[in-house]
């Protein structure tokens, strides 16, 4: 049986040797040996994961044809990889399926290229962590309790109990924030550990670049030396088999060496499409934690915390109003707070429920497309002053002949509201806003109305200014 296996394999090698360049054959194929063949699966022993990469990518077609010619079909191929000691990594005997051996204590400096930089001699890792997304800034609630507690456990003992950690949930629920916070905590509690945060997208781009430069081996080695690898949005790996393959090797190595891997995703691993099963099964190896939409109390807590960061303290009725109206996404809550802050700066006054209602806009279900007429009397002076404040321009600029874009826009909008909200005549309006005649006022109003009917962003802006004017 063994003789027959050897014969099949050498026939396969013969086929390849006639079709690939001699140097590539010698480097990649000549030293591969067959560990086992059970009639369906072929296990090959190779001396570096670089070889797997090449066989699975660049040479996959010729290799598959060679297998088919020799075995009569294409068996499922897997590799036992034992890394070549040339790169400063010691052989450690056979490892588990498709994994690489752990780096031994390296006593002499190893020169491995960091894919974050084009050329360099030693690994200096910028962790890519954001100093804003700390654990102290993260609000705990029922929606994230499991993930939060696991985060703390990982920060204390990376690479042990919750390894890997797979955090999933809809967009804007705090996944990036929490995994970033784990990275910062590890850095604080274990300064000797190297931490790297990056998006799956960036990983993919680096991999493609490394492939183009023929540096995939260096790329893999670099990642294998990280102690805590945080990969954000792994759903972006969908359909990218080369990247998945490479990440699979890196993952296996890190996991085997007791290094922590943390991943985020916008889907439950069972619902991921375009990701290989073997990778999905790794994702589920340890902790799969879901981030849920925050409940009312947690939303209130988050608003209080974020408002404090902006230097604002909101009264209870406003807090509850926002928490009630913005319920599905923390990022959206932040957007509202930024608006509130902008308004309180423009208005130079306290916010009240009526203003916040207007900022929040209509309740879902009711549609407002245009600034509604109001009863309140408003003066030309107020319109001029507030529109200028909104655009952050000087009132005197409005009166100049300048065609600067924001001044022109401010002038048109001020005229539009002056016509709509005051009883002044067109010539009085024209004179007060830019020293123009009545036909310019009419023309400006038409422009604003036309743009509002065709451009939703512009319409929101005008509606926002309207709310500001009448507040
Ligand atoms: P995701 O990665 O799930 O899309 P992010 O982590 O980018 O979401 O969070 C979006 C915004 O919401 C961030 O600014 C983050 O700080 C904030 N956020 C989300 N959840 C929380 C929370 N529990 N406590 C504090 N801020 C949060
Ligand atoms: Mg995110």
Please choose from 142, 151, 167, 173 the residue to mutate so as to test ligand 1's pocket, defined by most ligand atoms within 8 A of CB: 173
**331 CA distance to ligand 1 centroid (A)?**
6
Please choose from 144, 167, 176, 177 the residue to mutate so as to test ligand 1's pocket, defined by most ligand atoms within 8 A of CB: 177
Mean confidence (pLDDT) of the chain: 83
**28 CA distance to ligand 2 centroid (A)?**
39
**Nearest-atom index, ligand 1, CA of 333:** 12
Nearest CA to ligand 1 atom 6: 174
Pocket of ligand 1 (CB under 6 A): 133, 137-139, 144, 169, 171-177, 302, 330-331, 334
pLDDT digits (tens, 9 = 90+) for 352-382: 888 888 888 776 544 444 444 434 468 899 9
**Nearest-atom index, ligand 1, CA of 177:** 6
**167 CA distance to ligand 2 centroid (A)?**
10
Give the percent of the chain with pLDDT over 70: 86
**Nearest-atom index, ligand 1, CA of 266:** 3
**152 CA distance to ligand 1 centroid (A)?**
17
Q: What's the whole-number mean pLDDT along residues 90-107?
A: 31
d(CA 29, CA 11): 13
51 — pLDDT class (breaks 50, 70, 90) = confident
Q: Write down all domains in the chain, each with its CATH number in brackets.
A: 2-95 (3.30.300.180), 145-290 (3.40.50.300), 296-360 (1.10.8.60), 380-470 (1.10.1750.10)
**387 CA distance to ligand 2 centroid (A)?**
36
Please choose from 305, 306, 331 the residue to mutate so as to test ligand 1's pocket, defined by most ligand atoms within 8 A of CB: 331
Query: How far are the Cα atoms of 134, 135, 176 from residue 179, in angstroms, in the given order?
Result: 9, 9, 5
**336 CA distance to ligand 2 centroid (A)?**
19
**133 CA distance to ligand 1 centroid (A)?**
8
470 — pLDDT class (breaks 50, 70, 90) = confident
Identity of the highest mean pLDDT range in 21-30, 46-55, 230-239: 230-239
Q: Are strands 260-265 and 165-168 parallel, antiparallel or unpaired?
A: parallel
**302 CA distance to ligand 1 centroid (A)?**
9
Q: What's the whole-number mean pLDDT along residues 6-14?
A: 88
Please name which ligand lies nearest the alpha carbon of 132: 1
**179 CA distance to ligand 2 centroid (A)?**
9
Identity of the highest mean pLDDT range in 110-119, 135-144, 324-333, 413-422: 135-144
Q: What is the pLDDT of residue 120?
A: 37
136 vs 344: which has the higher pLDDT: 136
**342 CA distance to ligand 1 centroid (A)?**
21
261 — pLDDT class (breaks 50, 70, 90) = very high
Please name which ligand lies nearest the alpha carbon of 200: 2
Tokens of 188: 């604080």
Please name which ligand lies nearest the alpha carbon of 293: 1
**174 CA distance to ligand 1 centroid (A)?**
3
d(CA 177, CA 156): 18
CB–CB of 470/378 below 8 Å?
A: yes
Q: Phi and psi for 131 in degrees, rounded to 5?
A: -75, -10
Please name which ligand lies nearest the alpha carbon of 133: 1
Nearest CA to ligand 1 atom 23: 139
Nearest CA to ligand 1 atom 16: 177
Q: What is the pLDDT of residue 457?
A: 83
147 — pLDDT class (breaks 50, 70, 90) = very high
Residue 119 has pLDDT above 50, yes or no: no
Q: What's the whole-number mean pLDDT along residues 179-198?
A: 96
Query: How far are the Cα atoms of 32, 65, 197 from residue 176, in angstroms, in the given order?
Result: 42, 44, 10
Please name which ligand lies nearest the alpha carbon of 236: 2
Q: What's the whole-number mean pLDDT along residues 448-457?
A: 81
Please choose from 136, 144, 172, 296 the residue to mutate so as to test ligand 1's pocket, defined by most ligand atoms within 8 A of CB: 172
Choice among 36-45, 89-98, 123-132, 405-414 with the minimum mean pLDDT: 89-98
Nearest CA to ligand 1 atom 26: 138
Q: What is the pLDDT of residue 316?
A: 93
Residue 263 has pLDDT above 90, yes or no: yes
Nearest CA to ligand 1 atom 9: 174
Please name which ligand lies nearest the alpha carbon of 326: 1
Q: What's the whole-number mean pLDDT along residues 446-450?
A: 87
**393 CA distance to ligand 2 centroid (A)?**
36
Give the percent of the chain with pLDDT over 90: 45
Q: What's the whole-number mean pLDDT along residues 395-423?
A: 88
Residue 125 half-sphere exposure toward CB, CA atoms < 13 A? 21
Please name which ligand lies nearest the alpha carbon of 329: 1
pLDDT digits (tens, 9 = 90+) for 58-91: 788 888 888 888 888 888 888 887 654 333 333 3
3-state secondary structure the chain: CHHHHHHHHHHHHHHHHCCCCHHHHHHHHCCCEEEEECCCEEEEEECCHHHHHHHHCCCHHHHHHHHHHHHCCCCEEEEEECCCHHHCCCCCCCCCCCCCCCCCCCCCCCCCCCCCCCCCCCCCCCCCCCCCCCCCCCCCCCCCHHHHHHHHHHHHCCCCCCCCEEEECCCCCCHHHHHHHHHHHHHHHCCCCCEEEEEHHHHHHHHHHHHHCCCHHHHHHHHHCCCEEEEECHHHHCCCHHHHHHHHHHHHHHHHCCCEEEEEECCCHHHCCCCCHHHHHHHCCCEEEECCCCCHHHHHHHHHHHHHHCCCCCCHHHHHHHHHHCCCCHHHHHHHHHHHHHHHHHHCCCCCHHHHHHHHCCCCCCCCCCCCCCCCCCCHHHHHHHHHHHHCCCHHHHHCCCCCHHHHHHHHHHHHHHHHHCCCCHHHHHHHCCCCCHHHHHHHHHHHHHHHHHCHHHHHHHHHHHHHHHC
Nearest CA to ligand 1 atom 20: 174
Q: What is the C-alpha end-to-end distance of the chain, expressed in Å?
A: 88
């Amino acid at each position: 049986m063994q003789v027959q296996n050897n014969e099949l394999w050498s026939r396969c090698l013969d086929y390849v040797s006639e079709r690939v360049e001699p140097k590539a054959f010698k480097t990649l194929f000549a030293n591969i040996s067959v560990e086992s063949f059970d009639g369906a699966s072929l296990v090959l022993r190779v001396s570096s994961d670089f070889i797997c990469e090449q066989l699975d990518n660049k040479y996959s077609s010729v290799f598959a044809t060679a297998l088919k010619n020799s075995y009569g079909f294409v068996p499922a191929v897997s590799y036992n990889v034992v890394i070549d000691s040339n790169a400063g990594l010691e052989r450690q005997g056979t490892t588990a399926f498709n994994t690489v051996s752990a780096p031994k204590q390296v006593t002499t400096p190893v020169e491995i290229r960091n894919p974050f930089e084009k050329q360099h001699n030693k690994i200096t890792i910028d962790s890519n962590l954001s100093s804003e997304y700390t654990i102290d800034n993260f609000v705990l609630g029922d929606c994230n309790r499991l993930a939060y507690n696991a985060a703390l456990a990982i920060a204390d003992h990376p690479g042990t109990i919750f390894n890997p950690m797979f955090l999933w949930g809809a967009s804007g629920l705090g996944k990036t924030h929490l995994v970033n916070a784990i990275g910062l905590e590890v850095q604080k509690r274990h300064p000797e550990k190297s931490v790297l945060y990056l998006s799956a997208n960036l990983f993919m781009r680096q991999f493609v670049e490394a492939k183009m430069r023929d540096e995939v081996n260096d790329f893999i080695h670099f990642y294998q030396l990280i102690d805590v690898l945080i990969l954000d949005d792994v759903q972006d790996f969908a359909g990218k088999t080369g990247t998945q393959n490479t990440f699979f090797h890196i993952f296996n190595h890190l996991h085997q060496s007791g290094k922590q891997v943390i991943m985020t995703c916008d889907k439950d691993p069972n619902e991921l499409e375009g990701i290989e099963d073997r990778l999905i099964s790794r994702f589920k190896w340890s902790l799969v934690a879901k981030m849920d939409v925050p409940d009312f109390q947690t939303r209130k807590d988050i608003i209080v915390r974020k408002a404090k960061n902006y230097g604002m303290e909101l009264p209870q009725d406003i807090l509850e109003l926002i928490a009630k109206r913005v319920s599905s996404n923390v990022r959206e809550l932040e957007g509202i707070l930024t608006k509130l802050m902008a308004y309180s700066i423009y208005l130079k006054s306290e916010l009240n429920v009526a203003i916040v209602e207007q900022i929040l806009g209509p309740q879902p279900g009711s549609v407002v497309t245009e600034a509604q007429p109001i009863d309140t009397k408003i003066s030309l002076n107020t319109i001029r002053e507030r529109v200028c404040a909104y655009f952050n321009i000087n009132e005197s600029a409005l009166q100049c002949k300048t065609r600067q874009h924001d001044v022109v826009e401010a002038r048109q909008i001020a005229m539009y509201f002056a016509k709509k909200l005051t009883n002044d005549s067109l010539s009085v309006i024209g004179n007060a806003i830019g020293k123009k005649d009545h036909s310019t006022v009419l023309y400006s109003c038409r422009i604003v109305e036309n743009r509002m009917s065709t451009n939703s962003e512009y319409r929101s802006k005008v509606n926002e200014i309207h709310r500001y004017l009448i507040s």
